[in-house]
Amino acid sequence: MTLLDFIYYFVLPVLSISIILIFIRFLIGPKMVDRIIALDLIVTTGIGFISAYSILYNQPTLLDVAMILALIAFLGTIAFTYYIQQKNKP
């Protein structure tokens, strides 16, 4: 079993199952805050996907996208919490 087989048959399927599990929480999350946390974790798992694909196809250039995704996840979380706080003000 080579490394690429391991990435292809273990890492990518397990990451896919993780995203499905987090997406269930995104759908059933009782409060808006739970959905924000789930969205944050989905984007963070996407960074892991990009890293796995950069190993699989031997293209480290893809890691630029990972950096942008990390930035966007942080900004999205900040923006959503800001709007929820503003909404709660009378």
Partner 1 sequence: MTDIIVGVLALFGTLFVFFAAVGMLRMRDTYLRISVTTKAATLGIGLLLVAGAVHSYELAITAKVFVIILFLFLTAPVSAHLIGRTSYFSGVKLWKNSVMDDMEGKYNPETEELGSGLEDEPKNSDLGKTAED
DSSP assignment of 21-76 = HHHHHHHH-SSHHHHHHHHHHHHHHHHHHHHHHHHHTT-GGGHHHHHHHHHHHHHH
Q: Contact between 19 and partner 1 (CB under 8 A)?
A: yes
Residues binding partner 1: number (CB under 8 A): 47
Tokens of 65: 């996208």
Q: Contact between 27 and partner 1 (CB under 8 A)?
A: no
Near partner 1 by CB under 8 A: residue from 8, 57, 72, 78? 78
Near partner 1 by CB under 8 A: residue from 8, 9, 57, 64? 64
